[in-house]
Chain A
């Protein structure tokens, strides 16, 4: 819209309130005038002269002194003017042009002298207004001409079809063009002759000269250095006669019609092509061109043509992405008009070339695909997108420039600790910076468009959501309640945008980029300002439900569910709780391809694994809140639309679907199940169709975010499916030696990789099967629970027969509850053939949702099937350290094996790679730090480089401390390090486990503790600067005495222990000794 163009040259001057008010009043007048003109021009029923007559009366209202202002419009030979118009010395005029040719003008004049400003009698803005009006008139006239042509053509066609004389159709067109637009006719003739010539029609060459094209002869005689002579044009009528005479001889009538029609259309958007083609064209020029284009082509589809395709691709390049793969797909679904729709809602700095950024691109593209596919699948027609405004990515650069903050650009190359120290300052620095007035204007315009609806400000950076790259959740998204006065809302909005901008300098995101080798990418951040879908309930604003859906299901709870059945995570209220894994709250999971197969079937479990909290926006306190879902429903149940479709009643150990009127919000035990929504509404079908369509068209698994206000389904985001590096398909190496291979699997595989397993807990299926007393089963479960609490978290796996955690019959699988396994990296169920049949596995169903939320991988093994490797020798043959770890349960060594992998495998560790695309998984021994064999170092951004600096630094510091401890002064006999620092698994949040063998007295002990406390606090601070993980102290100190060591009590067992023994460090050398 021209409205967006208004701000570009807006030239504000800092001044008092009154001045600002005056300026604003003027802008309002101008806008109003423009809208009135625009409205008149769009009234197709009025004749041009009627419109012009009215326009001249409107124009003065847009100027500063309407009372003494008069206007005149000259078009071709006619003139329209307000009464009293006369030439004066205070005049301004602008030409009306069609196809760059002046056909008239718009003039304004003041009858008497008016106060003059620096800009002259007519403000710069006023001049622009007149120019814009003249421009729009020109476009409208052209448009009408085209319309006329098409109309006459259509009626002629109709007539023709009645008389069945098709040969006349093109003649009518030519005749028409001759009368109305000779320029166009010449253009068509030129194209036709060229076409004929290149089709091999010799006669055409003769005409070719006449219309000035370079003749073919000049090429045949070789390229000459002198310019070819320009030949005078013959009369256009003669040329066209000649041209079409030849054409009719060689081409069928219908082909001529087809060609002519196409060329006419192409000619119509020439201006757009010219603009887009210019490398230096700014976004505003393109947007202007687009809006002209839209005015001409409203509701018209353009037939296939290379020009159209070229234009499309050029625009995709401009707005969306340079990625060739993306363009290749995008061009099939995006039309030129589609860009017109977002052009209105773009905010950009002057001269912007900026892109929209990943998130915006994804949503825009997703919506276009669904729109274009809706003809085939009508259900897709119901998908909406919320009202969205876009800030181009280069605005951030402009913002930094405007505030002299360019120095921040180098931020990413600083040391991480510097970045971390700087970050709070940067936020403040940026929050105190300001946007250019132009952007503020546009934002204000956006706010007017949104009204007082809550908003979400989302980052849309160039790196985010690129096809195939996983870069999610690193930048901020902020909710705004958007309540209060316009000024307050505007301030909140700019504040939020700046905060999102500043997350580009957040140490975590820089570290993330650095780990993936993306640091040198010129990251820019666009912004998406989106209306929050929802409805007001009490003081709160929320979507009825929202969630995230994956086209590829990596968490299948039944063998009947296929990967392509997809996965839907849905929660009441804002979708934040579905997007994040919270581990203590659960979204409702549905596989859209198999909606009837639910994760939980027992009523108590359905209740347990239901959403317990809800995220919403409190309009009163203007804040984002998390509240208890049951309390919320109890209080507001009556106000929530479609509540009976969201909840079920838990009564008498049944989950009951309520009908509309029979919910007692006060007393019923309500559980959020979405049962009504799933069974009674087309939601699941719709999501399933969306996922299938987008996956098919985009050629990759995708995920979407969605929300509903109870009436409509809104698509909020769409991108290539990413669930983090740990759950992308792992390439399966083919060169693993037999001795390193532990197991393979080919059934029910999901994606993922685990490559840091130091311990295996293996419950021997045969031995378990032979247990003769119930107590032994119970104890096996207990042992697993104990190992779970002892072994290094997420670095061991549990393997065992049958159905883990099975209730009812403990022979079927190890009797454990979730708390007995919650530290494992993976749960592996083994189905060994028993007397001729293979038992069914549980798929982790007994704690399925717990596993999903904690990201514990699940893998079923079928060792007895064909072509499956299961290295039983390894599991039964390697040293079993159970006896040493849990001496009380030594007698269970036949049943439970605990294998210290690096110790028994010459330092190698267990890696598990799972690839659902190939339906293959392998577990094998590999070296800890080296890349997976047979695999190239990642070129993509899949996997973070292995980090060993955390333990190295800790180990180094521990050594430092030890070397400074004066044994005499503190009564220290020995200094040991154990735990993650010692076994090289320390992460950024790990503490340093220190064990001190102490022989001193009380006061020495106090001294020692104080001395170490200083170290501890200091190290914690250093660690914070390095990693961002804050803790009060970093040392976890354990002091043991001779007695402890003798009795092996407390941590003394660590000295010389079997697993993870404490490692002694050298103390300060006693110089006196």
Chain B
């Protein structure tokens, strides 16, 4: 019988990828560009963007995108420890109210309220979630889903911290650029910091907890302590975003605990591809401007996020970033079997 020639598709790392994986010294320009372009291009773009959208409506959109990117990064960080949160609004709201409260009641200046809100808020959230760290999977998610709603209702019914009116006329940022650049640098630092952190020994333990927490426990590691640290880090990022937003709008109200601040970052992370941090950032920077452009639809916006979320899960479950990354590093060809 004549043997038919058969082919199959094969995926191969690009030569330049294999070469640049082990670069420790300066090598050819092409290798350097291959290595640094995907890292520096987004940074450069982010740093230059404020000049292009100066003073307009789109400046607010850019700021908004950064806020959601920070929340998405914080969600992604928790998710990479296996803590799937449905309440990023908790961090955001706590940060916002702490900085707003300190500024409104104690007249603290902006350069004190933001750091205090970031660290204090993170500590507060960690202590709040400490008792439920033993919960896994969907039970943890449910608790995180309820907490922001709880706070919103507490503020409303007890009429504390401004009640339904919120805290008004807080100290603004001096000019437009400081707030914008704090947000952008925050995103960049978190993005690359998290990517670094998760590949270090500390991140190894965190990823281990996600894969199989019992094995990590059997290794003599206190997983609750590590989970608490992870929540503190994620919480600090979320609180930082909340504090920035408060001073940017010079206002804080119950809406900071709204579902938007939970759903949009999650949708962004899922669209971009969870687990890579870059994916979460790309996802939110696509979704937020898109949703602003669709603002005319009114109430349908939230429905649209839902559709995008489902569509992304069905069509590209790996996420945009993983897809792009694969295309960048690998190519396909027919191989003879």
Chains A and B come from one and the same complex: no
The residues of B with any CB-CB pair to A shorter than 8 Å are none
Task: Identify the A interface with B (CB < 8 A).
Answer: none
